[in-house]
Structure 1
């Protein structure tokens, strides 16, 4: 069966071979809530669809108009089998409950590295921030080096960011970008980090300046989310 959970996903679990993210545009906060309710109703009344799906989580966007979806699969083949046999009936029921959802596409990733929470840190994230870092075509091979630089900068941060619980970096399957899924204690903690000296997250140090001006990086796109629904097998 399918069980609802309030727990956030573990982005570092070793059995996840295919982490996927996608965005739905639903336009208003009321439709955000209605869509989350429709997803829960549609999934909870059905058997868990596949042993290769480890967890499925939904987040409401801080813009009041979007939903972020994160599914954790053992392998891409497990998702493909689900898409052929079990996906459409769920999509149809959700679309009947909330017409007009615009699905923005599915992005496939591989988890690369994480800045993990400190030992004994049991805080529940009050805010999830995703940052997409796009690279020029001739710089795609530098994504790992850029990520390594960020993680070193976080480790060597003079004052640190008390509100940052963890940050998880994923390499896109298309080779074009990195996705950072960052867990923050709260909106206020994230805003305080943005307002600290420097140009955004990170102290005004040479290492952070290298991150910000890294050759081949086209740009950064950040979004705020709140965890709204977790679904796991019984």
Structure 2
């Protein structure tokens, strides 16, 4: 299947996506991260996609220490078969997730420029769902305008029941930095720590460097 370069980030909530495959790699500095993601994107661009692969996105953390790839598929098996022939970050082992719940706070916002990925280690499917419900509740119960710049929060559950990932879209890095000192952030932290069987791994801010869509 031919693919095209996308200037915008992926449509995280697209209806035909049934799985998201996420890889995170440590990189020593900005140059190494840029080069690793460029090489990965070139491999994905040069190799015809099988049916079932929908998008490939590559991000570098604002601290220049983590490269992340996010692949959407309509067929998880197609991803495994395709990446078996790729090398480096392009074919890196991934954690398979499915989008479980999305909260869109500003549907009229421009395309996001900052992406915050927060991860949680959990003890199975029940804590997965409970921590998402708790954090989502804290966001939805916050007063209007309590977190300006947050466009959406997209909660993913890993297929093996061991992880939760929140892919949040923001207008700017600065908007997220301001959020960290606010009441809503404190409420989400309480929700996380009050949920048994959940251990926060942390978060990082990312910028999109490459995007491809089917």
Alpha-carbon separation, structure 1, partners of 2:192 and 2:32: 38
Aligned to 1:40: 41
| Corresponding residue for residue 153 of structure 1 | 138
Shift of 1:219: 2.5
When Rg is computed on C-alpha atoms for both structures, the one with the higher figure is 1
Q: d(CA) in 1 for partners of 2:197 and 2:76? A: 29
Q: How does 1:9-158 map to 2 (within 5 A)?
A: 9-46=10-47, 48-83=48-83, 87-88=84-85, 90-91=86-87, 105-119=93-107, 121-135=108-122, 137=123, 140-158=125-143
Structure 1 residue 227 corresponds to structure 2 residue 208: yes
Check whether the contact 2:192–2:200 (CA below 8 A) recurs between aligned residues.
no
Q: Deviation of residue 202 (structure 1)?
A: 4.1
Secondary structure of the structure 2 residue equivalent to 1:195:
coil
**Counterpart-to-counterpart distance in 2, 1:25 and 1:4:** 25
Matches of 2:137 and 2:186, distance apart in 1: 11
Distance 1:64 1:215 in 2: 33
Residue by residue, what CA displacement relative to the aligned partner does 1:171-229 show, whole Å, maximum 9, x if unpaired? 1112112100011111111110112247xx145xxx86344322222233111111110
Q: Which residue of 2 aligns with 1:98?
A: none
Residue 43 of structure 1 aligns to a residue whose secondary structure is helix
The answer (yes or no) to whether the contact 1:49–1:82 under 8 Å persists in 2 is yes
SS at match of 2:127: helix
Is the Cα contact below 8 Å between 1:60 and 1:68 reproduced in 2?
Answer: yes
Q: Which consecutive unaligned segments of at least 5 residues does structure 1 have?
A: 96-100
User: Are residue 175 (structure 1) and residue 161 (structure 2) matched?
Assistant: yes
Normalised to the residue count of structure 2, the TM-score between the two structures is: 0.88
SS in 2 for 1:152: helix
Contact 1:167 1:182 in 2 (8 A): yes
In the TM superposition, what is the alpha-carbon distance from 1:117 to its structure 2 partner?
4.0
Task: Show structure 2 runs of 5+ residues with no match.
Answer: none
| Aligned CA distance change for structure 1 residues 22 and 133 (closer, same or farther; 3 Å) | same
Tell me, in whole angstroms, the C-alpha distance in 2 between the residues paired with 1:188 and 1:52.
36
RMSD (CA atoms)? 2.3
- Separation in 2, partners of 1:6, 1:60: 16
Question: How far is the alpha carbon of 1:104 from its aligned partner?
Answer: 6.9
Q: Does 1:190 align with 2:187?
A: no
